[in-house]
Structure 1
Amino acid sequence: MDVLTFNLNNPSRERAERQLSYLASRPEQVLVLTETAASAGCEFLAQRFTAAGYDVEFPRPERGERGVMIVSRLPLSRPDVVFDYLPHRGVAVSVETDSGPIDVIGLYVPSRDATAKKTDRKRKFLEGARLAIPQARPGIDQRLVIGDFNILEPDHTPAYRFFQSFEYGFYQWLGEAGYRDAFRQLHPEASEYSWVGRTGDGYRYDHAHVSDSLGRVLRGCSYVHEPRTGPDRLTDHSALAVQLDVSPAALLTVTDPAESTAAGALF
């Protein structure tokens, strides 16, 4: 079972159509799409995937807010994981596999600037995430926490003085709670970035953390830079793909959502 996280960057309708073609061509069965909004572009994606037979979990953010959409070729159920603060930014689903259910928790952590208001908002969301995300019991829980965390690992290279201890603290807490950084497990020394600023400085904002049980069947975790660096410029983030050596218990019967869009354009 493979999972991809992809920051949509709240697309326009036109860019959403191009994103749909790309996402529909991906091999991953579960897509965790971040930086969603109650906008024409995101509604288009949700509607086209739903019409094509995918299972879609998309709590619409309130006006001016952002969130997470999960799109799946596997039937989704809802585990008992609840984010009380900014719930559209923490979305949990469960899928059945040959090794039992796997919970997928998609996160889109608020970004911030130097203002107290945005700093407190990010701090409050991360505090709430600690309460919402269950401790991972070794050898028992199968859980993936994935998305755009808007935080860096404490020893990120280069180091940036802007980030505060509570942001690094959430990354450290994930380890204490029983989750491994999937990319670091397979690439302990690699320097890769999922977002690059205008000055050329790189940041590894997009993450996937796996419970002990999933760490044992992790067979791949890599950044997919094409959406960010390719000629189509689908988004301003690189995607992150995770491959797990487990098989889905069942797959939905789906059609190509991009082809459905093309057919609809004829009428």
Structure 2
Amino acid sequence: MASIDLNSDLGENSAERVVSDDDAMLAIVSSANVSCGAHAGTPEGIRDTLASAVAAGVVIGAHPSYPDPDNFGRTPMQPSPSEMQAQIEQQLGFLSDLAASVGARVAYVKPHGALYNTIARDERQAAAVVAGIKAVDPRLVMLGLAGGVALDVASRAGLAVASEAFADRAYLSDGALVPRTRDDAVLHDAQAVAERMLRFAETGLIRAIHGTDVRVDAQSICVHGDSPGAVAMASEIRRRLEASGVTIAPFATRVV
């Protein structure tokens, strides 16, 4: 591939729980998935991250979630469709207003955590999330798991869509992510992760945990901001890709 986006989940810090170095990551990535406050972050911290993204020239995406701060948005929930849609509308409105206050616009939406994984296979919840996005701004791009149900639902509803590959998460042979309940779900070795993403950029393949290759059609690569060693991983991925001739550029400017 000639170019690919590099994204990270940011805006999740608070005084009691600092999970990422947002400024350092914003110097590396081309897109930032910024918390909408439901699973992590504070209004002032989120605003600071948005302002830093503007200063760094990084495209901003919304990172809505289940309202689950105690578990960092990683516990599955079963809201009704109307509840789910209202939660998405509220979170996107919150982030859009903060973005406007620093002279920015939200360009895309990437759900977080358990919500992200649920809508990759649950069409009912996916439809509620998509309805919330369209109600707020039908120009927003939906970013999701390659091969997941949510992107099909969003595309049928008329939203532009993009898919991502995960640098720091292990894959199952069917293309799903290894559940975080397993010890081998999250990857930490910057060199190994960068080599994995270079192979993906060259072949479209990612090695799953059982040794099989998974073909992934993605326009973006994610490094979770709260992963240990996240900045080192993102930096090495960018260095290796650019050294091989791959340009790092935001996906949202290419799909809208």
TM-score, scaled to structure 1:
0.38
Structure 1 or 2: larger strand share?
1
Q: Which has the larger radius of gyration?
A: 1
Structure 1 or 2: larger helix share?
2
